[in-house]
Amino acid sequence: MNELREGDLVGLCTNLVAINPGDNLRICIDKAAAIVSVSKAQFTRLMRAHSDFNGEVVQALARTVTDLHTRLFEVATLDVKARLAGRLLALASPPTHLAHRPIQVAHAVLAAEIGASREAVSRHLADLQKERLIKNGSRIIEILDRTGLEAIYLDAAGHRPFGPAGKI
């Protein structure tokens, strides 16, 4: 459910979901990542000594809260196809008139990110390809019609989405 990117503060995620020492932590990632653990005392010293680190932590927490609210909205109100369209849009390059970069992601990772089964994601990706909205290859998805995907997402959200589909 969490997408790790360079510079992410993974410790915030483990604190937010109340992972305790000795508990199992399952992280679904599709690319190499480093997980760093620091003691509470070290973390507190960093927060006090470095205002830039402190600011990054606060910004990361704010993004996480917004993303969690968006995820709650999407899971509670949108069907799998709309959630998938929103996630594909979030993973794609920013909206421009230029070509979109291909999205490299496994169906199982997409399923975990939108709270659906891999089979449902595969079925809806096939439907989106038949509708000529995407080109679906082996672990590579190319958006062919961004406006069409946006319409699926916005129609399901009543044209009032909680927020942009983002990483969680």
pLDDT per position as a tens digit, 113-156: 898 999 999 999 999 999 999 999 888 999 999 999 999 999 99
CATH classification code of 79-156: 1.10.10.10
12 burial type by CB count under 10 A (0-12 exposed, 13-18 middle, 19+ buried): middle
The CATH 1.10.10.10 domain(s) of the chain lie at 79-156
Length of the chain: 168
Give the mean pLDDT of 48-72. Answer: 83
